[in-house]
Amino acid sequence: MILSFRQHEIVELARLHGRVVVEELAERFAVSPQTIRRDLGELCDAGTLQRVHGGAVLGSGVANLGYDARRTLASAEKEAIGRLCASAIPENASLFINIGTTTEAVARALAGHRDLMAITNNLNVANIMAANPNIEVIVAGGVLRRSDCGLIGEATTDFIRQFKVDLAIIGASALDEEGWLLDFDYREVRVSRAIIENAREVFLVADASKFARSAPVRITEISAVTAFFTDRPPPAAFTARCAEAGVRIEIAEPSEQAAG
């Protein structure tokens, strides 16, 4: 496919921010929303982008989006998910928190909690929670992935297996409608599996854009999860899998400030 100048710019914006929105693109390029929708349609037909509600995201592949793009993608939705998940976490609990921008939103929302023990392989989470003197923060060892400050590898997995905690707060790079949680790095996936296996309950936090993405490595099936915190009702097939497995689905409402 030969891209027009505008389509090339749209792809670059998607690479930079992780997502593009029809109305914002129409304003930026001074064209109608219908023109932008045609551009996105052609880019999606070519597999360069994937449609999501209101716009598009980069097409799926074997590599994840950059950390900065993931951090800004659906940021208001992630903060709402973080608040809802944090409200379900009791005080005086032990928990794992793994790598991800949505799990970081949960960490921020736990600012007012007391008497928690938080074990994490995410240095961003550790720094966020270190500000709360009422949370004991334990950081797993392992190989530092500089791109997102995650700790991965066999040493991290072995460290996690020393514990048995009340709750695991996990994210995923992609969700498929058959009920699989997916990610890109098999080393990170091994750590995530150890986290799931060594927690009494598992909370999955992921925004709805994860259903428009794909990743090559399976973490686990949704049946391993206790509750799923997201921002919109999942696709019907995924909702049915949750019902079969007894997984609670919690839908986060955006704050009035974010909604306005």
pLDDT value at position 257?
46
Span(s) in the chain for CATH 3.40.50.1360: 74-259
Mean pLDDT, residues 11-39 taken together: 90
Q: From CA 103, how far away is CA 99, in angstroms rounded?
A: 7
Q: Classify domain 5-59 at the CATH class level.
A: mainly alpha
Residues 165-214 pLDDT 10s: 999 999 999 999 899 999 988 999 999 999 999 999 999 999 998 887 88
Task: Look up tokens 């391993």; give the residue.
Answer: 224
Span(s) in the chain for CATH 1.10.10.10: 5-59
Residues 59-82 pLDDT 10s: 655 445 555 555 556 688 999 999
Q: From CA 201, how far away is CA 60, in angstroms rounded?
A: 30
Residues 85-117 pLDDT 10s: 999 999 999 999 999 999 999 999 999 999 999
* Domain topology for 74-259: Rossmann fold (3.40.50)
Q: From CA 25, how far away is CA 44, in angstroms rounded?
A: 16
